[in-house]
Amino acid sequence: MPRREGIYGLLAEFNTPGELVVATEEARRVGYRRMECYTPYPVEEAAEALHFHKNRVPLICLLGGLMGVTTAFLMQTWIAVWAYPLNIAGRPLFSWPAFIIPAYEWTILFAGLSAGFGMLALNGLPQLYHPLFNAPNFRNGATTDKFFLCLEATDPQFSSAGTRAFLERFHAVSVVEVDH
């Protein structure tokens, strides 16, 4: 069955995290790949069922820290050697041991900022609109006591009737179509 224009996906509502995890594992097993779970608190089993293991925040944090230490050393070297050289007690102009403490501080600063902003960027935040906000039961239940599985229409396996029948097999409280 061809996909209807303007549909984001099908959203199934469950009462317990166990039901959500079972439905997610089964959806993954039968071939769905474009799906997402929404829970009011972290459910590690749902993340495992989604095979969500890619996390680029540590790499971004490392790159930010390396950029911080490099920036600090280059800035201090430029100031001490070329921009404003001072000969104090016959010490060399490039006295790198004096640069260690500020470079360490800049490393922490850049790593922390890059981790925070990188996490926001990878999460796609701030996101002022999402199609799931149009679902009638999502707005109230997602932050309190309900568990949701959304199978997206961009998945090659997706068909309105077939996916609806698949989700209803798990005795979901409701299965609603989400428009864009």
Please write the tens of the pLDDT for every residue from 115-141.
Answer: 999 999 998 888 888 899 888 888 877
Phi, psi (5° rounding) for residue 164?
-60, -45
Q: Rounded to an integer, what distance in angstroms lies between the CA atom of residue 86 and that of residue 98?
A: 14
pLDDT tens track for 60-97: 999 999 999 999 999 999 999 999 998 888 888 888 99
- Identify the band that residue 4 occupies on the pLDDT scale cut at 50, 70 and 90: low
pLDDT tens track for 91-114: 888 889 989 999 999 999 999 999
pLDDT tens track for 6-63: 899 999 999 999 999 999 999 999 999 999 999 999 999 998 999 887 789 999 999 9
Q: Where are the domains of the chain?
A: 7-52+133-179, 57-122
The whole-number pLDDT of residue 6 equals 84
For every residue of the chain, DSSP letters joined together read -PPPTTEEEEEEEESSHHHHHHHHHHHHHHT--SEEEE-SS--HHHHHHTT-----HHHHHHHHHHHHHHHHHHHHHIIIIIIS----TT--S--GGGGHHHHHHHHHHHHHHHHHHHHHHHTT-S----GGGGSTTHHHHTTTT-EEEEEETTSTT--HHHHHHHHHTTT-SEEEEEE-
Kindly report the pTM of this predicted structure. Answer: 0.73
Mean pLDDT over residues 147-157, rounded? Answer: 94
Between 2 and 36, where is the model more confident?
A: 36
Does the pLDDT of residue 173 top 50, yes or no?
yes
CATH 3.30.70 fits 7-52+133-179, yes or no: yes
- Identify the band that residue 1 occupies on the pLDDT scale cut at 50, 70 and 90: very low
The whole-number pLDDT of residue 27 equals 96
- Identify the band that residue 142 occupies on the pLDDT scale cut at 50, 70 and 90: confident
Task: State the average pLDDT for the chain.
Answer: 91
Between 140 and 164, where is the model more confident?
A: 164
Tokens 């309190």 belong to 144
